[in-house]
Structure 1
């Protein structure tokens, strides 16, 4: 089946997401490793991605760990410094696809508050034809439900979707439903895939 819509993950596909890099710069790798070993930062963030209130989730976790209170609160107070920079070629690819009349969807694990903040910093995140953001949907990848709901809402058959994500488990879940997939490792590789599928010319993909 020809590709009818292209689906982008956001973190590490359109915008870099490296909280460990931020913490390494602030407190050094050794203290960062100690913090992340003692405090389930990513588990808390997954709850935010499921729709839990962002500030409350971070600040309540900070209250539970007085030793790390300030550092945990950074996850809210300095969040944009963790979600940076934008990946320029990926942005160009998204816009080139839309200019060619190809629908472009977002499918991303993202909290409600964090997504709204990210949209103010990265206007490209407001340019999707359809947005499927886990915080609003209250279900996260790789749960099959989030893929089913995208299919149902968009009306696109699984084989007509081409999905780029940087996490193998999310790609595997999409492939299990019959989606066409691309494991994102670089914008150059993604550009090559879009050209090979006939969705963009080489000139459009640069």
Structure 2
């Protein structure tokens, strides 16, 4: 994936607030396949049948929970991935959120944005003229925010970080708070990753009301 590099503005004051308390789902403790299935049933979506059964890569797993995703934002990612998968194409977008501190730093993702994509079943990037739309959408966001990561889908071949994904993460999303969410809407998977000291780690996440 190729994109312009969007840097975070350094903030002068640390935001102090406790993490969300109304947790609806905690990965990996809870069943992600069941959750995505419930999201499909909520919208009366039929399951998509094909699967490529590609090999899934394992990464070191970090136990500390410091990534919280608003329920509506997670549903948007799943719906976008599902709609693109019907055409056997990958989805992609930015994750919008902010940083907070309560004993330790944590990240909240409260929305997503996307724009027209140049996509296939194994590759995705924003179209050349999409960034004007992206910046317009960013300007419409009320209140403080930063881009806390990106999401994309692997329709039918599991949730993992490919070599291209790792390059994207290292080049554009290499801050300590940046996360990548990879969704497989066919196999009902959603995993989150971070790059720390040039190494990829899978991280836990919680979805809150």
The two structures have a TM-score, normalised by structure 2, of 0.29
Higher relative contact order (CA 8 A, sep 6+): 2
Greater share of strand: 2
Flag the structure with larger Rg: 1
Greater share of helix: 1
